[in-house]
């Protein structure tokens, strides 16, 4: 081949490589998103906005170079349908919130990378082998560790010293209920407390269960992190006030809307922003198995003084001093 012809072929090859690279760079990537709750819920909207905005900051703009296919699940009855819709659309990554939804998606695909958040027991649920080396197609962010159950009970006993019975509130279909129940029962003995299991699936269960629990005196509530309880939070706070049950909740928004106090992750929305960084890394070629599951690093205490006064409780100085935020 003559030198001029060779250079022509070489130039054409380089041009083709440039075109292919440009096509790959310009192609729209696909990300499936599964959120628990309603898209009209302000709390869920704030979480979703945090995830989407963080993706944009990382260079992924919905409709320009990425397509975000979003589904909201109002309850467990919708999990299978919307999870199947997302999996069948063959996205490159799936971002999913809450234990129940993660379990459903993980059962439907062993190949599509999954990034999760709002999960408290990923090893026990079988999502990952270890936190440092997930091993499969899932990775993500741990919401709360089981030892926090002891802290909830301790806070409740400190706030209401006469307390003898504590109802643990949550839905096993949407949260790792037994994970927190075992931890609470282990911590209750030293505090002279009886932990009563209250497995709640809907509003009817919630009302009848708390009505029955309140028939005996010296009772209180511990609410675990749970998509069902998030959805029912207004009713839950209303019933706690009606039956004069002191309660501790796992997230700030409970206390800011009338709950007595909360102890949990200092910035839950931060996990959604962090999840966006994992989606970004997977889209750029990294594997979920190589991305360690990250745990919570900072907790906060929120106290609602107005609710404490309505319940006739005297707030001990130790809780007042420890509170990161006091609502008056």
- Whether residue 74 is contained in a domain is answered as yes
- pTM of this structure: 0.87
Whether residues 254 and 311 fall in one domain? yes
Whether residues 13 and 129 fall in one domain? yes
Backbone angles phi, psi at 30, to 5 degrees: -120, 130
Count of CB atoms situated within 10 Å of the CB of 36: 28
Beta bridge partners of 304: 327
- Whether residue 3 is contained in a domain is answered as no
Look at the alpha carbons of 110, 96, 141, 64 in this order and tell me if their dihedral is positive or negative.
positive
Whether residues 128 and 196 fall in one domain? no
Residue 236 reports pLDDT greater than 90: yes
Whether residues 174 and 231 fall in one domain? yes
**C-beta separation of 93 from 248 below 8 A:** no
Whether residues 234 and 119 fall in one domain? no
pLDDT digits (tens, 9 = 90+) for 278-327: 999 999 999 999 999 999 889 999 999 999 999 999 999 999 999 999 99
Residue 74 reports pLDDT greater than 90: no
d(C-alpha 109, C-alpha 84), whole Å: 9
- Whether residue 2 is contained in a domain is answered as no
Q: Provide the residue range defining the domain that includes 115.
A: 8-143+267-290
Q: What is the CATH number of the domain that holds 113?
A: 3.40.50.2300
pLDDT digits (tens, 9 = 90+) for 145-171: 889 999 999 999 999 999 999 999 999
Please give the full DSSP string across 258-310, using - where no structure is assigned.
T-SEEEEES-HHHHHHHHHHHHHHHHTT--GGGSPPBPP--EEEEEEHHHHHH
Residue 7 reports pLDDT greater than 70: no
d(C-alpha 202, C-alpha 229), whole Å: 9
Work out how many domains the chain is built from and give that number.
Answer: 2
Q: Residue 325 to residues 1, 248, 262, 320: CA-CA distances in angstroms?
A: 78, 15, 10, 9
Whether residues 85 and 122 fall in one domain? yes
Whether residues 155 and 20 fall in one domain? no
- Whether residue 1 is contained in a domain is answered as no
- Whether residue 38 is contained in a domain is answered as yes
Whether residues 257 and 159 fall in one domain? yes
Whether residues 18 and 106 fall in one domain? yes
Whether residues 14 and 127 fall in one domain? yes
- Whether residue 179 is contained in a domain is answered as yes
**C-beta separation of 214 from 245 below 8 A:** yes
């Amino acid at each position: 081949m003559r030198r001029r012809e060779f250079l022509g072929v070489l130039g054409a090859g380089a041009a083709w490589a440039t075109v292919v690279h440009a096509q790959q760079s310009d192609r729209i990537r696909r990300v499936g998103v599964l959120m628990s709750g309603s898209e009209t819920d302000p709390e869920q909207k704030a979480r979703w906005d945090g995830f989407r905005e963080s993706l944009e900051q990382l260079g992924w703009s919905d409709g320009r170079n990425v397509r975000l296919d979003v589904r909201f699940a109002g309850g467990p009855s919708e999990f299978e349908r919307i999870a199947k819709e997302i999996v069948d659309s063959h996205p490159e990554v799936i971002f999913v919130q809450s234990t129940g939804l993660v379990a459903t998606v993980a059962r439907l695909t062993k190949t599509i990378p999954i990034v999760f958040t709002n999960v408290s027991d990923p090893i026990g649920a079988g999502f990952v082998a270890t936190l440092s080396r997930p091993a499969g197609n899932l990775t993500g962010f741990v919401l709360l560790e089981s030892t926090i159950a002891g802290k909830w009970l301790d806070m409740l006993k400190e706030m209401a010293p006469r307390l003898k019975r504590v109802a643990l509130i949550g839905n096993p279909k949407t949260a790792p209920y037994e994970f927190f129940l075992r931890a609470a029962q282990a911590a209750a003995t030293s505090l002279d407390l009886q932990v009563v299991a209250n497995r709640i699936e809907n509003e009817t269960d919630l009302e009848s269960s708390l009505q029955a629990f309140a028939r005996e005196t010296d009772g209180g509530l511990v609410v675990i992190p749970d998509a069902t309880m998030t959805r029912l939070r207004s009713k839950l706070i209303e019933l706690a006030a009606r039956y004069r049950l002191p309660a501790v909740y796992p997230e700030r928004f409970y206390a800011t809307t009338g709950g007595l106090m909360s102890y949990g992750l200092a910035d839950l929305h931060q996990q959604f922003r962090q999840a966006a960084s994992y989606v970004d890394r997977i889209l750029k070629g990294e594997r979920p198995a190589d991305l360690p599951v990250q745990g919570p690093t900072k907790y906060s205490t929120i106290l609602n003084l107005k609710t404490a006064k309505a319940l006739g409780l005297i707030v001990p100085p130790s809780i007042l001093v420890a509170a990161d935020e006091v609502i008056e």
